[in-house]
């Protein structure tokens, strides 16, 4: 523990300076970020010309890139932040904006679009024109997180209204909208769709996590309103919670963001899932991936470390200090850069963790989270450290410093006027891509709120357990049940050479070497990937090598495996 004490002592001066810098950034950027959000909401927002009342534009940028649309996901996350501010009494002027949002979303649900009608899958349509007409161009659709996020935002508002004597408005106006979204989740939670970055069609951890939350709080609201749908929501929430566990990569010690796409699975997706399903009443529960849980902290470390060596602006930063982060390390969009909202999300998860540690009065370190805490003390060991110990206070201070560091980075690359684009350059920190991104502003506000100790309302995550027997029956949408399968391939390689997987089923890319799935090197020379595959299914597969454009297949015969009816399996192979 002496090492941790000396570490904290040596940092005291720089920590004070950093804390002051963050304080100054919060003070200057808070009103700018709030104004930035409101400017992008129709009809009166200064940068949302043409948008109907309550419609959130993603950005006023109309060229390179054109973000002058309204996304269900972005709009719901933005208004969840505003609804939290209103219902927590932090800003009582937002009522008319929230009611406009309710009206806009009520209308948007009924707009037939390329994903379908309101009764045939249309709620999974990701984006619309800002006059609420359907966007009919090519796009990654459906995206199944939108209905869950919208229902969560509206349920938060509904619960507050009921507590303040306005249950009639909830029953007549809010509940019909919420119930449509919850019905969509019930019907489609076990079917693939495009992830929150709109690039990979597979199962997505973020989507599954927010779907689980929506049904839990939806069941509670249904019960309060006397709607018998509560039982169905509860049943499917339990099944989703079971499925949520399958994303865990036990070898790499992180949640795999997507089950497809051929990437490492290290992705801001998981940090965003943690902060948007934060429930302080659940403590450090790992089952629901709470921010201070061992799995969430381990995942966060793996995600952050993935960016330490790939961005020039992160060069020379200590291995236990904050760095700029992006969506995922393989990202190439706009050149693949840090994002304001992803870097802020890391800070927010850490602040949320601190909130809970202060509430519980202890910090627990497990074998899973040990590496996260050893960033701050190489000698720290597993155990429970009470608030009366110096280890607790020193670790709390170290994590606070670590969290503040991510906001310092965003502050460094925020222009003098305070405007927040989508990204900033990996080379020099200059703002890039869409200007005045609404989600960037909202993410900044929620990170600031978490730093100040703001705790959103509980959604019922406390005390949940994974069912001993899990079903993949959606109760309406069909779909095939899946199980988690980890492929381990022992193979030595030369620099620049990679190992891929392909096989005889859709989830294994139907023998395509071009779209074969890239395995990760976390435990090199064992290459690994964890996928959700159809249950009770026999398939064939092979590993391939790619090097300098050349593709080399393993020797015959094809490998073969039959997935179990439930649970998970690990396949250990060696190159042949």
Are residues 405 and 328 part of one domain? yes
565, 535 in Cβ contact below 8 A? yes
Examine the residue annotation and report whether 198 is marked as an active-site residue of this protein: yes
Query: Residues for the chain: how many in total?
Result: 576
End of a domain among 441, 466, 491?
A: 466
Are residues 304 and 255 part of one domain? yes
247, 269 in Cβ contact below 8 A? no
Q: Which residues is 38 bridged to in the sheet?
A: none
Given 97, 105, 181, 195, the catalytic residue: 195
Nearest to 154 by CA among 112, 204, 108, 207: 108
User: Which residue matches tokens 């155990």?
Assistant: 383
96, 167 in Cβ contact below 8 A? no
Q: Cis check for the bond before 159: say yes or no (omega within 30 of 0).
A: no
Listing DSSP states for 31-58 in one string gives HHHHHHHHHTBTTT-TT-TTPPTTPBPS
Q: For residue 362, give both structure tokens.
A: 């202890």
498-503 vs 538-547, strand pairing mode: antiparallel
User: H helices within 362-418, ranges in order?
Assistant: 370-374, 390-412
> What pLDDT score does 470 carry?
73
Are residues 316 and 227 part of one domain? no
Query: HSE-up of 95 (CA within 13 Å, CB side)?
Result: 5
Return d(Cα 446, Cα 453) in angstroms, integer. Answer: 10
Classify residue 9: in a domain, yes or no. Answer: no
- Residue 360: which CATH number? 1.50.10.10
End of a domain among 213, 229, 246?
A: 246
Nearest to 214 by CA among 280, 110, 144: 144
Return d(Cα 182, Cα 555) in angstroms, integer. Answer: 49
Classify residue 514: in a domain, yes or no. Answer: yes
Are residues 196 and 137 part of one domain? yes
Are residues 447 and 308 part of one domain? yes
Q: Going residue by residue through the chain (576 aa), what tens digit of pLDDT does each one get? A: 555 555 555 556 566 678 889 999 999 999 999 999 999 999 999 999 999 999 999 999 999 999 999 999 999 999 999 999 999 999 999 999 999 999 999 999 999 999 999 988 999 999 999 999 999 999 999 999 999 999 999 999 999 999 999 999 999 999 999 999 999 999 999 888 999 999 988 899 999 999 999 999 999 999 999 999 999 999 999 999 999 999 999 989 999 998 888 889 999 999 999 999 999 999 999 999 999 999 999 999 999 999 999 999 999 999 999 999 999 999 999 999 999 999 999 999 999 999 999 999 999 999 999 999 999 999 999 999 999 999 999 999 999 999 999 999 999 999 999 999 999 999 999 999 999 999 999 999 999 999 999 999 999 999 999 987 777 655 433 334 678 899 999 999 998 899 999 988 878 888 888 888 899 988 999 999 988 888 888 888 999 999 988 999 999 888 999 888 777 889 999 999
Nearest to 335 by CA among 427, 413, 443: 427
User: Which residue matches tokens 């995942």?
Assistant: 299
Return d(Cα 128, Cα 58) in angstroms, integer. Answer: 11
Are residues 403 and 279 part of one domain? yes
Classify residue 289: in a domain, yes or no. Answer: yes
- The counts of H helices and E strands in the chain are 14, 19
Question: In whole angstroms, what separates CA 352 from the centre of its chain?
Answer: 14
Classify residue 7: in a domain, yes or no. Answer: no
Examine the residue annotation and report whether 195 is marked as an active-site residue of this protein: yes
Are residues 254 and 239 part of one domain? no
DSSP element (H, E) containing 357: helix 340-360
List Cα–Cα distances, 432 to 59, 327, 334, 429, 447, in angstroms: 13, 14, 8, 9, 21
Are residues 296 and 204 part of one domain? no
DSSP element (H, E) containing 151: helix 146-163
- Residue 522: which CATH number? 2.60.40.10
Classify residue 44: in a domain, yes or no. Answer: no
Quote the strand ranges of 95-166, DSSP E.
127-128
- Terminal Cα-to-Cα distance of the chain (whole angstroms): 48
Quote the strand ranges of 197-289, DSSP E.
201-202, 248-249, 254-255
Q: Which residues contact 253 (CB under 8 A, 6 or more apart)?
A: 295, 298, 299, 302, 368, 371
Cα dihedral sign, 317-319-320-322 = positive
Q: For residue 503, give both structure tokens.
A: 């096989």
Nearest to 129 by CA among 195, 67, 177, 179: 67
Range of the domain at 211: 68-246
> What pLDDT score does 480 carry?
43
Number of domains in the chain: 3
Are residues 530 and 423 part of one domain? no
> What pLDDT score does 512 carry?
84
Are residues 95 and 241 part of one domain? yes
List Cα–Cα distances, 514 to 199, 263, 307, 492, in angstroms: 17, 14, 26, 22
Return d(Cα 319, Cα 377) in angstroms, integer. Answer: 12
Neighbours of 575 (CB within 10 A): 16
User: H helices within 95-145, ranges in order?
Assistant: 95-109
> What pLDDT score does 472 carry?
63
Nearest to 199 by CA among 92, 126, 93, 118: 126
**Burial class of residue 20 in the structure, from the number of CB atoms within 10 Å of its CB (0-12 exposed, 13-18 middle, 19+ buried):** exposed
Return d(Cα 59, Cα 439) in angstroms, integer. Answer: 9
Return d(Cα 251, Cα 378) in angstroms, integer. Answer: 21
Q: Which residues contact 151 (CB under 8 A, 6 or more apart)?
A: 178, 181, 182, 185, 214, 218
Are residues 406 and 328 part of one domain? yes
517, 262 in Cβ contact below 8 A? yes
Q: For residue 450, give both structure tokens.
A: 């978490």
CA angle 318, 321, 327 (to 5 degrees): 110
Given 91, 198, 364, 522, the catalytic residue: 198
Are residues 188 and 88 part of one domain? yes
Return d(Cα 185, Cα 31) in angstroms, integer. Answer: 36
Classify residue 549: in a domain, yes or no. Answer: yes
> What pLDDT score does 476 carry?
39
Question: In whole angstroms, what separates CA 30 from the centre of its chain?
Answer: 23
Residue 414 phi/psi, 5° resolution? -90, 125
Classify residue 14: in a domain, yes or no. Answer: no
What three-state secondary structure class fits 142? coil
Establish whether 160 is an annotated binding residue. no
End of a domain among 219, 246, 273?
A: 246
List Cα–Cα distances, 197 to 263, 265, 328, 463, 554, in angstroms: 13, 13, 10, 31, 33
pTM of the entire predicted model:
0.82
Residue 281 phi/psi, 5° resolution? -70, -20
Classify residue 320: in a domain, yes or no. Answer: yes
What three-state secondary structure class fits 520? strand
């Amino acid at each position: 523990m002496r090492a941790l004490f000396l570490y904290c002592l040596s940092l005291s001066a720089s920590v004070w300076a950093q804390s002051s810098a963050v304080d100054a950034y919060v003070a200057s950027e808070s009103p700018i970020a709030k104004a930035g959000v409101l400017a992008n909401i129709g009809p009166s927002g200064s940068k949302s010309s043409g948008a109907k009342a309550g419609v959130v534009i993603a950005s006023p940028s109309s060229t390179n890139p054109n973000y002058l649309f309204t996304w269900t996901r972005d709009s719901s996350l933005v208004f969840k932040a505003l609804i939290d501010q209103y219902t927590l009494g932090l800003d009582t002027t937002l009522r008319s904006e929230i009611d406009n949002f309710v009206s806009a979303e009520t209308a948007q649900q009924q707009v037939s679009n390329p994903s379908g009608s309101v009764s045939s899958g249309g709620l999974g349509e990701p984006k619309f024109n800002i006059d609420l007409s359907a966007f009919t161009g090519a796009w990654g659709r459906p995206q199944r997180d939108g209905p869950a996020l919208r229902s969560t935002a509206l349920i938060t508002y509904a619960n507050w209204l009921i507590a303040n004597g306005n249950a009639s408005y909830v029953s007549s106006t809010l509940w019909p909208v919420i119930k449509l979204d919850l019905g969509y989740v019930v019907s489609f939670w076990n079917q693939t769709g495009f992830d929150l970055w709109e690039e990979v069609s597979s199962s997505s951890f973020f989507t599954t996590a927010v779907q689980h939350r929506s049904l839990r709080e939806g069941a509670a609201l249904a019960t309060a309103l006397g709607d018998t749908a509560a039982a169905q929501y509860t049943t499917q929430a339990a099944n989703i919670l079971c499925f949520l566990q399958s994303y865990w990569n036990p070898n790499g010690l992180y949640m795999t963001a997507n089950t497809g796409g051929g990437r490492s699975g290290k992705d801001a997706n998981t940090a965003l899932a943690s902060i948007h399903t934060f429930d302080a009443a659940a403590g450090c529960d790992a089952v629901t991936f709470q921010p201070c849980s061992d799995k969430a902290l381990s995942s966060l470390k793996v995600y952050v470390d993935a960016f330490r060596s790939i961005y020039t602006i992160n060069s020379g930063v200590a291995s236990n200090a904050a760095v700029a982060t992006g969506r995922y390390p393989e990202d190439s969009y706009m050149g693949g850069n840090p994002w304001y909202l992803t870097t802020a999300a890391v800070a927010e998860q850490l602040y949320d963790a601190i909130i809970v540690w202060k509430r519980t009065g202890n910090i627990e370190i497990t074998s899973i989270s040990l590496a996260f805490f050893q960033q701050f003390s190489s000698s720290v060991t597993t155990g429970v450290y009470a608030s009366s110990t110096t280890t607790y206070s020193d670790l709390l201070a170290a994590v606070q410093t670590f969290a503040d560091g991510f906001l310092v980075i965003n502050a460094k690359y925020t222009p003098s006027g305070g405007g927040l684009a989508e990204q900033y350059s990996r080379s020099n920190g200059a703002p890039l891509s869409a200007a005045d991104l609404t989600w960037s502003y909202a993410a900044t506000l929620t990170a600031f709120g978490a730093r100040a100790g703001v705790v959103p309302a509980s959604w019922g995550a406390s005390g949940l357990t994974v069912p001993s027997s899990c079903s993949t029956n959606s109760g309406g949408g069909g779909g095939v049940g899946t199980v988690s399968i980890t492929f381990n391939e022992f193979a030595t390689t030369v620099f620049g050479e990679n190992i891929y997987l392909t096989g005889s089923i859709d989830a294994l890319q139907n023998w395509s070497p071009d779209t074969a799935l890239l395995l990760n090197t976390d435990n090199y020379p064992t290459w690994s990937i964890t996928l959700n595959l159809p249950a009770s299914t026999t398939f064939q597969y092979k590993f391939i090598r790619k090097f300098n454009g050349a593709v080399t297949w393993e020797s015959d015969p094809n490998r073969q495996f039959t997935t179990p009816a439930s649970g998970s399996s690990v396949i250990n192979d060696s190159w042949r």
